[in-house]
Chains A and B, each alone.
Chain A
């Protein structure tokens, strides 16, 4: 079904090949997991398969790709789109029209399918109908990803190429997606799944591991391959934190916070030096809650205090010097022309001296030194997330808020970052993490809060 012959590719102005001499055969009905560390070439390979490379991203392209015996060099993206459903890692860029309904309708009509029937079917789906008419801008990241998956699956393509399809999904949605993919695979669909989530990938029938642009392993079982930067199956991320909590002063106090139709009379006290995890389904209001703490959203009802002082009495600069916030989608956070400028921007705004020393430390810690003068937009999503974290944490804030920090990172980077969070906690920082993966933080977390039905409940 898919044949790749000696495929090599390098991006313009890069001497390094992103893909090196890849040869691969994928038969009809295979369920393939494409694994490997950040920057190993997984996404580049996916872009080659759906011919975005070389038609949109030019570079040094060598070799051949055949899909259903058609040489893709002779095909445009839209010509392959019907038989190849693609979810890009940057899923947000795939949304163009104002509502999800229009997205689905547009796609189906282009392929000559009856759109009304499918829309009527989706309107009956209790888990999805509420998203249909919603404006794309108002959806949470998880809802956007879920909606796109539904749009892609509605076309009934023979081949599915899914790049990190679970990166923003909650546990229930991940399980549901897995069931759907298993069912589609049984029906004979070929699925290529790119992921760092081995718990999800273990259900595949073939595991291809890439490293530095080369295939280093191609097997039918997923063994312990942590040496290749892939998370071992059912890896234990430390034991539960049973340390007795010292009674501390309240760092952040939220009283009766309400926001539109998302939050209703939320009460929450976060103590000094506490590690708090906030969980909840996609679209439950986790990001909305923390956006209030950093004054990105105006309080409509209720109060927030930091160190006993009302939030409204703090200037934005005071808040930024105390709180480091890392956005869920790194594309929402980075906008400067180089990585160095990105870090410098934070320090400059806060009037901090010795910029060079702090920037060097952060670049070295997040393994970004080699990209120092590169545009952040040219990096992979995992690398972009590291830039976003470095640019927020470079100012050494007291409170750290991280929105889904680990989903884009490979195993090594995850371990490294968990260790870093432990160090920050030791230093007395207050840490708030929003995540759908509580397991990662087991050894660090003091309290877990769940947002359900617009309210916050302590687990």
Chain B
């Protein structure tokens, strides 16, 4: 999985594009996704799929699409299909559930799934085609009304770009450590898988927070002001 979230050095149009233009485009794209309805989102999904295939990111795109279809899509769809009434009420009570099948729920489930898919895919396309180094250089060089972008913002932006791959790397290491001791989460039954991954959240979060601090130190040691 970590490879999906890692920059890949290639010679494509997306790779050559200015990181700043890509960030602006990404923010506009996300805004459109938040306001688009079901049919508009369906068109955006097709658009983003064609883009990924045309720009040589086919393998990576299908990997993440598979992940989404197996782990995210069914959950959202089932949730909205059966509990739409509970969440669409004007003032839903916190523990009120009204399981009932509805076509509106199905549509809402699809809409939210498409929206999440677009957000995830566009982020992956951005990360896959934007070198953190180029991104840091570009953002450090910008001046707005004579002021440079604060280094902490530049650090945050490159950290987001790079940290997802590093977190997935940490996750793989934990999975390997578990496997070496007899528990293979990847091969476990669905029930054990859900319990296993849930149990990993706290250690993964702890390791990731520590990593964030270590990464800030690493960048400072390379002469980059992170705070």
Contact = CB atoms under 8 A, between A and B. Distances in A.
Interface of A: 50, 52, 56, 76-78, 81-82, 86, 88, 90, 93-99, 102-103, 105-107, 109-111, 133, 135, 137, 294-296, 316-317, 319-321, 325, 327, 331-337, 345-346, 349-350, 375, 377, 391-392, 395
Interface in B152-187: 162, 165, 169, 173-174, 176-184, 187
Interface residues of B, number: 47
B220 A78 contact: yes
Contacts, number: 132
Nearest to A319: B182
B136 A96 contact: no
A56 B181 contact: no
Query: Which 3 A-B residue pairings sit nearest by Cβ, starting from the closest?
Result: A320-B182, A110-B223, A77-B220
Contact of A332 (B176, B182, B213, B216): B176
Interface stretch (B12-20, B33-41, B90-98, B200-208): B200-208
Contact of A294 (B136, B180, B183, B221): B180
Given A56-B217, A96-B218, A78 B224 contact: yes
A331 B9 CA distance: 28
Interface in B104-138: 131-133, 136-137
Contact of B180 (A56, A76, A102, A296): A296
B221 A76 contact: no
Contacts of B219: 96
Nearest to A103: B222
A98 B222 contact: no
Contacts of A90: 214
A52 B217 CA distance: 7
B10 interface: no
B2 interface: yes
A327 B173 CA distance: 10
Contacts of A135: 6
B187 A316 contact: yes
B66 interface: no
A332 B177 CA distance: 7
19 contacts: A50-B221, A78-B220, A78-B224, A90-B214, A93-B211, A98-B7, A99-B9, A109-B137, A110-B223, A294-B179, A316-B184, A317-B182, A320-B181, A335-B207, A345-B181, A349-B182, A350-B182, A377-B206, A395-B181
Contacts of B86: none
Given A81-B220, A137-B2, A349-B183, 4 more contacts: A76-B227, A88-B221, A94-B221, A320-B180
A346 B207 contact: no
Nearest to A98: B7
B58 interface: no
Given A93-B217, A97-B162, A81 B222 contact: yes
Contact of A106 (B6, B136, B182, B183): B136
Interface in B183-201: 183-184, 187, 200
A106 B200 CA distance: 33
Contacts of A375: 206
Nearest to A351: B182
B225 interface: yes
A153 to B, nearest CB: 13
A95 B214 CA distance: 10
A202 B157 CA distance: 45
B40 to A, nearest CB: 35
A98 B217 contact: no
A335 B203 contact: yes
Contacts of A319: 182
Nearest to B133: A102
Contacts of B165: 98, 137
B210 interface: yes
**Of listed B131, B183, B217, residue having the most chain A CB within 10 A:** B217
A137 B218 contact: no
A391 B182 CA distance: 12
Contacts of B133: 97, 102, 105-106
Contacts of B49: none
Nearest to A91: B218
